[in-house]
Amino acid sequence: MTPPLAQEADRVAGASAAKAAVLSCLPYTILALRSDFLRAASARRQGSQGFLLQARRRDDGSDAVRVGFTCSKKIGNAVMRNRAKRRLREVVRAVLPPLAQPGWDYVLVGRPGVTVSRDFAALKSDLEGALRQIHRDRPPRAEP
């Protein structure tokens, strides 16, 4: 029989291990500041049929991946906007972790009539394609 204090220590250690496992499957944080959304809007953009992906590399030394979601009133009323954002969040959960680059911000912008009604598998393939396009090697810009 294990003494009660040892049982308590084992229970706490198991809980912290389970908590670490849950936290390890969330490799990104959510953007909340307007300034971060504006910086992403002025960087790379990749349109897809279901949404617009805006992405920028942060040069702040952090490897964190940050993601933001936005839907304008063009999408519809609050119910439709929230539905579109929920769908975008789920697409990001399913696709982003293996394809994201460390130190990048991503913003997904919903499209009117499409983000809510488009097939979920098609939204996932849209995000995969958009991420590949954003991160493909580009030739340097010519100086004017």
For residue range 97-122, what is the model confidence (pLDDT) as tens digits?
989 999 999 999 999 999 999 999 99
Total-model pTM:
0.76
The class level of CATH for 28-135 reads: alpha beta
Q: Tell me, what's the pLDDT at 26?
A: 46
Helical pair 78-99 and 120-135, crossing angle rounded to 10 deg: 50
The share of the chain scoring above pLDDT 90, in percent, equals 65
Q: Predicted confidence band at 130 (pLDDT cuts at 50, 70, 90)? A: very high
Q: Tell me, what's the pLDDT at 7?
A: 59
* Residue 126 backbone phi and psi in degrees, to 5: -60, -45
Q: Tell me, what's the pLDDT at 25?
A: 47
